Amino acid sequence: MVKKALLFLSLFAASALITWSQPWRSTPFEIYGGLGTANYFGDIGGTPDEDNLYGIKDFEFLQTRPSLTAGLRYNFHYLFSLNTGVTFGWLSGNDEGGRNEARGYTFNTLFFEPSTKVEVYFLKDYPFRARRTDRKGRIASYSTLSTYFFGGFGGIFFQVIPNDALKERRERDNIQHGNAALVLPVGLGLKLGIGYETDIGIEIGGRYTTSDYIDGFTSDFARHNDVYYITTINLVYRFSEF
């Protein structure tokens, strides 16, 4: 009885894998583009006290800025994909309402981020809802769900625009820094199949940088480099070959 049950489960799992994996096999390439938001965490702004709940309380909705993302994904395995893309965006922050409000620093940073990421899927093209039926009422296609974790590497090229108070401090302290840094993107993503060749994707991920000057400023009290988060909604198109 146990052997029969194990055999049944094995056949069921194999059948499910074959069924779910068909979209990535027939259309392994994906091109995508989308709009999103960018949020900065660094030396300017933050909570009025040091109890920031590991950065959660430093989030400022009014400092959320737009971003634009595009890229190419290659599904080389049922559970793994390679994603190469670029993001253009805007980061912003100020001291208003923070523990350094008196100094009055404000900055805006325009940035360009190319990156390459590996995606590891928890679910891949899982059919969860009938999308279309044939003339006899039988299910002809499904909406699909994919969820994944991603990590990778990239770079950020940025230009800081300080307000007068920050500009004066930078000149007084002779603050010099480069306009490029390495980036380690880490996060989660979700794709909802709305057609055989089209998906809607959502991603949220942190960017951990090798620079503490994304905002144009650092202090003696800084313990970490600057971090920013990108949240994006993408339209994805699948295709078989170039």
Q: Lowest-confidence range among 15-24, 76-85, 134-143? A: 15-24
Mean pLDDT of 110-138: 78
- pLDDT in the model for residue 130: 54
Q: What mean pLDDT comes out for the span 123-146?
A: 65
Domains in the chain (CATH in brackets) are: 2-239 (2.40.160.20)
> In Å, how far are 13, 118, 182, 212 from 220, measured between CA atoms?
56, 36, 22, 11
Q: Is the pLDDT of residue 210 over 60?
A: yes
Q: What is the mean pLDDT of residues 150-162?
A: 97
Q: Does residue 186 register a pLDDT over 90?
A: yes
Out of 9-18, 31-40, 231-240, pick the least confident: 9-18
User: Which pTM was predicted?
Assistant: 0.81
